Amino acid sequence: MKKTTVIIAFIFITSFSFSQQIGDGFSPVINDFATPLKSGVYSGLITRGTIPDVSHDWSHLFVIRHVNQTNNYQLQIASLYTENDRIFFRKIANNFDLTPTNTAWSEFATRGSNTFNGNQTFNGNVGIGTPSPSAYLEVYTPVLAQQIYNTQKWSSGNLDYELKLQTIWNTSGINQEFIQRYAGVDYKSLVFFAGNVGIGKANPTNKLDVNGTIHSKEVKVDLLGWSDFVFKKEYNLPTLAEVEKHINEKGHLENIPNEEEVLKNGINLGEMNAKLLQKIEELTLYMIEMKKENIEMKKENAEVKMRQLELENIVKELKK
């Protein structure tokens, strides 16, 4: 595309540098752009072989024809009469007879809507919505009024925009979709169907590895079981003596990882919460048992005091 643009620029510069009137100064009207034409300028009205843009009946045509009259080599540049900024070109070629080949038109990159077929290579930065891009691809999109996006503030009334980006990788990689709606119905995030994701980590070994702090309003963990088995009759609650013995020998509570294990392997958030709840429930049972014992001791103390008063009364009667 860049090479073609240079050719067109050269043609126009040459035309201006050595300009002279062609014929009577007006382009003749023809009804077929694909037929063997002599070099020159033409006009067409609902013309056979015209450009894909048919929004106007009339079109302009610029032709450069090879000097050999037995072949049909042409460079054609065409556009409509309207100010629509769409320009097309094609290279008609046939080395054996005058029948036209390669009659498909290609469109130059202009200010209107353009459709390109094939790979496009840009040696530089590409800006969408910005006149001076500073990155390989820089996109600026206005969102809600007064909302900052890409370090730019857009204020154009209460406008509502929708941004949709979709990327589908091969089946052995990641299939993901990202949809974001401003002032719309809902938000969808990234959906991954395969592979691991690392944030701040080059080689993640889990579905999501984060080398840093996670800030969230809520975290939900799915578990296979919970610690309410402590309250079942068949649960064998360790005695406090057994708990004390384990602490003295191991330096930590039973079924709770020690410091070395935690520093080396970290903890499973859901599993650790379940273990801590188990210890809380065991402590609750100990407290209930201690409360019962305390009530029983108070009863016994009350009985002892009553007997003591009775003995004191008996002693006083004997002294009389």
State if pTM tops 0.75.
Answer: no
Segments in the chain below pLDDT 50: 1-7, 10-18, 142-156, 161-190, 192-193
Q: What pLDDT is recorded for position 42?
A: 93
* CA atoms of 39 and 100, how far apart (whole Å): 15
| Buried/exposed code over 126-150 (b: 16+ C-beta within 10 A; e: otherwise) | eeeeeeebeeeeeeeebbbeeeebe
Q: Which has the closest alpha carbon to 61: 83, 37, 85, 84?
A: 37
Q: What pLDDT is recorded for position 60?
A: 92
Q: How many angstroms from the chain centroid is the CA of residue 54?
A: 39
Q: What pLDDT is recorded for position 283?
A: 93
Q: What pLDDT is recorded for position 165?
A: 46
Q: What pLDDT is recorded for position 110?
A: 67
Q: What pLDDT is recorded for position 66?
A: 85
Q: What pLDDT is recorded for position 103?
A: 76
Per-residue pLDDT of 111-136, as tens digits, reads 666 667 777 777 788 777 677 777 66
**Would you kindly state where each structural domain of the chain is located, as residue ranges?**
2-107, 126-210, 228-310
Q: What pLDDT is recorded for position 297?
A: 92
Residue-averaged pLDDT of the chain? 76
* CA atoms of 237 and 286, how far apart (whole Å): 9
For residue 46, what are the contacts with CB-CB under 8 A and spacing of at least 6?
31, 57
Q: What are phi and psi of 180, to 5 degrees?
A: -130, 130
Distance set, CA 237 to CA 231, 247, 248 (Å): 9, 16, 19
* CA atoms of 68 and 286, how far apart (whole Å): 108
User: Which DSSP state fits 199?
Assistant: E
Per the CB < 8 A criterion, the answer to whether 63 and 42 are in contact is yes
